[in-house]
Amino acid sequence: MTEKSVRSGRRSRKPVAAAPRKIEIDAWRNLVFPNEIRKFRKQRNIGSLLELAEQIPDLTYIRLSKIERGEVFARTAELRAIAAALHVAPADLLIDIDKPAFDIGNWAEPIVGSDHVDPESDRIAVLIAAAVRARRAADDALTISVLEEEYGIAPVILSRIENAHKPFDRWNDDVRKALRRLLGAKDDSALIAEVGALHADGKLDDMLPLVANPRSRIAKTRARIAALRKELAATGDSGAETGADTASPRPAAPPAPRIVPAPSREPIETPVLEGPVPVLDAAAPAALPAAEAPPPKGHSTTVRLVPVYGSALPDGLLARTPTDALVEAPRGAGPRTYGLRIGRSTLGPGLPGRAILVVDPDRFPSAGGLAVIEQDEGLRVIAITFDRQGQTLGFSLNPDIEVALDAVDPARVASVLSAIFE
């Protein structure tokens, strides 16, 4: 003990500030799908991503860009199409992130370059993301539509905020003002202090792992890549491709789709779907497999019938409940294709309620098309578009809902191939 610490034989005592709670920030949180697309594109002397996109007509440039940059997971059909254009095996585009030689920073260097975010700015962005998530979780009335209508935060912006895609100081004045209002702060400094206090009190602990936990990202990446390898192996797509003609064909609706009642007798022995369509209603019977019906006399085209599902749920949702009908699938439809009777006009008069959608879970939708997304409560039919920033959006009119599709797990998004009006 030094002289300065002793007064009349007693140790001097000064208040000690509590150490700030540690935040584990994942600097690579936006890169969930490292892959070899860029490497093979360069090896094939395809200088620009746009040039590659022109060889894959069923995959938009923006979607392809997000896949190559690792921002979204590729679906199996997309991976096959990209591999075909690059003349490689689909599995060769996948990376084993558990190999000792793999380093996410080295992989990301050609993508992010020197555009590194200041650690303190990144910390603030993560805290704000967690605070907004906590605020919404605590108030059921604070829906996506309310945030847009009352606070001016569009769904695509909300998704970027809640995933800390951008430092707080890089948002424009309108977004920062909306965040201050949402979190009850008078200015930017007060907002930063507020989220810091919430963190110090442990009120953001449940939300922080959803934003920036590297273990969560790694586990998600590992699981999805393993699933892709399994899907490719199951369909024999792990071998080398020879040309772009091996890509998944563009779906083409048949001239006269048919709806027929499900047969009461045992189905004939014919090829079936590679896997059953999941049934959301646990009490519902198992999915009816698709069968190929005999072609009409004098006609060589094989007709494939797939089961039709659909029953109404609240808020414009649909349950995947089996019906007593089968519907003809277009040529080129994936093995898990099914029909969905919508029963209501959620997208306006252009798609009346008395319609059956032919849905392919193995295809990702493009702008101008329709999609079915799987939510916790059921299935939702949406129309696809882009905003001015190139973000993919899905929307319905009844109810009035907008979904930031880039933030949705691709495995929960299915493309609508065609519509049949009853």
Where are the chain's structural domains? 18-248, 249-421
Q: Please give the pLDDT value at position 105.
A: 87
Please tell me which residue, 295 or 361, carries the higher pLDDT value: 361
d(Cα 262, Cα 290) in Å, to the nearest integer? 11
Q: Please give the pLDDT value at position 245.
A: 39
Q: Please give the pLDDT value at position 220.
A: 87
Query: Residue 405: which pLDDT band, with cuts at 50, 70 and 90?
Result: confident
Please tell me which residue, 93 or 213, carries the higher pLDDT value: 93
pLDDT (tens digit per residue) in 366-380: 777 889 999 888 999
Task: Tell me what percent of the residues of the chain surpass a pLDDT of 90.
Answer: 31
Averaged pLDDT for residues 329-338: 86
pLDDT (tens digit per residue) in 40-78: 999 999 878 888 988 998 888 888 888 998 988 999 999
pLDDT at 274 over 90: no
Contacts 24+ apart (CB under 8 A), 104-107: 104/28, 104/31, 104/34, 105/28, 107/31, 107/34, 107/70
Q: Please give the pLDDT value at position 292.
A: 38
Averaged pLDDT for residues 326-342: 88
Averaged pLDDT for residues 193-215: 88
C-beta atoms surrounding 399 within 10 Å: 12
Query: Residue 10: which pLDDT band, with cuts at 50, 70 and 90?
Result: very low
Check if the beta carbon of residue 339 is closer than 8 Å to that of residue 275: no
Query: Residue 237: which pLDDT band, with cuts at 50, 70 and 90?
Result: low
Of 9-18, 261-270, 341-350, minimum mean pLDDT range: 261-270
Residue 383 bridge partners (DSSP): 370, 395
Report the SS3 class of residue 421. Answer: strand
pLDDT at 284 over 80: no
d(Cα 278, Cα 55) in Å, to the nearest integer? 33
Q: Please give the pLDDT value at position 282.
A: 31
User: pTM (2 decimals)?
Assistant: 0.50
Q: Which of 111-125, 209-223, 255-269 has the highest mean pLDDT?
A: 209-223
Averaged pLDDT for residues 161-175: 87
Q: Please give the pLDDT value at position 409.
A: 81
Please tell me which residue, 166 or 91, carries the higher pLDDT value: 91
Q: Please give the pLDDT value at position 385.
A: 80
CATH code linked to domain 249-421? 2.10.109.10
Q: Please give the pLDDT value at position 19.
A: 52
Of 128-137, 187-196, 261-270, minimum mean pLDDT range: 261-270
Q: Please give the pLDDT value at position 387.
A: 61
pLDDT (tens digit per residue) in 101-157: 999 989 988 876 655 567 888 889 999 999 999 999 899 888 888 888 899 988 878
For tokens 């009853």, what's the residue?
Answer: 422
pLDDT at 296 over 80: no
Query: Residue 241: which pLDDT band, with cuts at 50, 70 and 90?
Result: very low
Tokens of 68: 């190559």
What lies within 8 Å, CB to CB, of 28 at 6+ separation is 104, 105, 108, 214, 217
pLDDT at 329 over 90: no
Q: Please give the pLDDT value at position 41.
A: 92
Average pLDDT, the chain: 77
Please tell me which residue, 380 or 264, carries the higher pLDDT value: 380
d(Cα 106, Cα 92) in Å, to the nearest integer? 19
